[in-house]
Amino acid sequence: MNDELVSQIRNHVFNVSEINQLIKEVFESSPYFKNISIKGEISNRKGRNISGHIYFSLKDDQSTMKCVMFKYDALYLKEDIKDGDKVTLYGSISVYVPSGSYQFIVKRIEKEGLGDILLRKKLLIEKLDKEGLFSLDHKKQLPKFPNKIGIIVGKNSAAAKDLEFNISRRWPLAKIIFYYSLVQGELASKDIISKLEIADNDGNDVLILARGGGSIEDLSAFDDESLARFAYSLKTPLISAVGHEINKSIVDLVSDKYASTPTGAAELAVPDKEDVLNDLNQVQNYINSIALNYYNKLQSTLNILINNKNITSINAIQETLLSKLNLIEQKVQTKTNLYYEKLSSSLTLKEKIINTLNPYNILDKGYSIIRNENGKVISESIQLKDKNNATIIFKDQSIDVEINKR
């Protein structure tokens, strides 16, 4: 800045807006504040506002800086950020003229250690792939009509409710057994292995391991090598619904079938009863068609015999053939109707029984269900002790409480 310009600035009386604008131009024109990187910890995360921008602060032990990531750049954010995340930000310094405050305009965010996590996952995938853990030849076929389904999932999770609702709706004949497990944290992978082992030896026809997605850090338990190898060794077919399509976990790759959502896992595990009933109708129509064709052939043969003048006692032959035709038609129709009615009645009855026994239906009438800290339903007050933890399940949500007996 030359002396003449400095003199002009000193002799000019600025208003607040003018000086803030001048400071903004100085910041944005300086090469020192363009395309720089700053590391620190996320705090005061505001979330996306109505315009799609993300506002937060970056701090270290001594200072804090306001930051903003505008909508266009936020669209390319692969993973959302939260308070406490250690990150490196890439962008430029600018000044917000209305408040006279400076802020960091973020173009890109990289979480600390994320690159190492992705590299370790990539190397493990390559290792397991060479050993054949992802081989299609090893993957087991799913049963068409499972009677018992084991689900390994987080307790009181949305994934658990989603699976229970969709499986019961599609195939009410199936019995659902939940094996609640940790799904996040350092102890999660060992806990999942323990629950998978119990479920694998519990007579289930198919197993479902579900979480409902999450960040790379959230899903790290499902990228564990020990868990991958145990899932590979299971006797029971396994459906995995852990990661989303763009962020598959290693256990998703090892499992016999993969679904991107818990709803998708339910659709893989069981057929839709409406489709089965439609198939039964088609079978009945096919049997009726075969019987009708056979009847028409016999009727044609009978007509030939009737018109043959060389055959005597034609009336007796006609009556015999007609009797046989009627008998065949009755047997086919009777067996078809009995088979169809039996299956249809069984489906309807068991669906009514399941709906009647479903403890969650009573929640629509204003009642609630109380479970102790082990997940057991409480029917008498004596089962609860002072300072026990419990969960009250309402129609729309669950609430954790502490018992205080007075």
Per-residue pLDDT at 164: 95
Per-residue pLDDT at 382: 75
The two structure tokens encoding residue 326: 């009627």
Report which listed range, 111-120, 162-171, 209-218, is most confident: 162-171
> How sure is the predictor about 114, in pLDDT bands with cuts at 50, 70 and 90?
low
The two structure tokens encoding residue 345: 């009645």
> How sure is the predictor about 236, in pLDDT bands with cuts at 50, 70 and 90?
very high
> How sure is the predictor about 310, in pLDDT bands with cuts at 50, 70 and 90?
low
Q: Which of 9-18, 46-55, 313-322, 329-338 shows the lowest mean pLDDT across its residues?
A: 313-322
Average pLDDT over residues 108-113: 81
Separation of alpha carbons 391 and 201, rounded Å: 29
Per-residue pLDDT at 192: 97
Average pLDDT over residues 227-251: 91
Summarize the chain as % helix, strand, coil (round to 5).
45, 20, 35
Per-residue pLDDT at 258: 95
> How sure is the predictor about 10, in pLDDT bands with cuts at 50, 70 and 90?
confident
Report yes or no: 199 and 179 within 8 Å, Cβ to Cβ. Answer: yes
Per-residue pLDDT at 194: 97
Does the pLDDT at position 115 exceed 80?
no
**What CATH superfamily classification does 3-112 receive?**
Nucleic acid-binding proteins (2.40.50.140)
**∠ Cα 248 250 251 (to 5°):** 100
> How sure is the predictor about 77, in pLDDT bands with cuts at 50, 70 and 90?
confident
Q: Say if residue 252 is exposed, middle or buried (CB neighbours under 10 Å; 0-12, 13-18, 19+).
A: buried
Per-residue pLDDT at 225: 95
Amino acid found at 329: E
Per-residue pLDDT at 313: 58
Q: Which residues, listed in sequence order, are joined to residue 390 by a DSSP beta bridge?
A: 372, 401
Residues 6+ apart with CB under 8 A from 28: 34, 92, 93, 94, 95
Q: Which of 334, 338, 332, 339 is nearest to 289 (CA)?
A: 332
What tens digit of pLDDT does each residue of 237-246 get?
999 999 776 6
Distances (CA, A) of 116 to 41, 128, 146, 378: 18, 18, 41, 47
Q: Which residues, listed in sequence order, are joined to residue 148 by a DSSP beta bridge?
A: 175
Per-residue pLDDT at 232: 97
Q: What is the pTM of this model?
A: 0.52
> How sure is the predictor about 171, in pLDDT bands with cuts at 50, 70 and 90?
very high
Report yes or no: 211 and 246 within 8 Å, Cβ to Cβ. Answer: no
Q: Which of 145, 152, 169, 148 is nearest to 358 (CA)?
A: 169
> How sure is the predictor about 76, in pLDDT bands with cuts at 50, 70 and 90?
confident
Backbone phi, then psi, for 179, in 5-degree steps? -120, 90
Does the pLDDT at position 166 exceed 90?
yes
What tens digit of pLDDT does each residue of 351-405 get?
777 666 666 666 677 777 887 877 777 877 777 777 778 888 777 777 888 777 6
> How sure is the predictor about 193, in pLDDT bands with cuts at 50, 70 and 90?
very high
Per-residue pLDDT at 358: 66
Domain ranges of the chain: 3-112, 116-269, 273-353, 361-402
**∠ Cα 100 105 108 (to 5°):** 165
Separation of alpha carbons 357 and 335, rounded Å: 33
CATH class in words for 116-269: alpha beta
The two structure tokens encoding residue 348: 């309807």
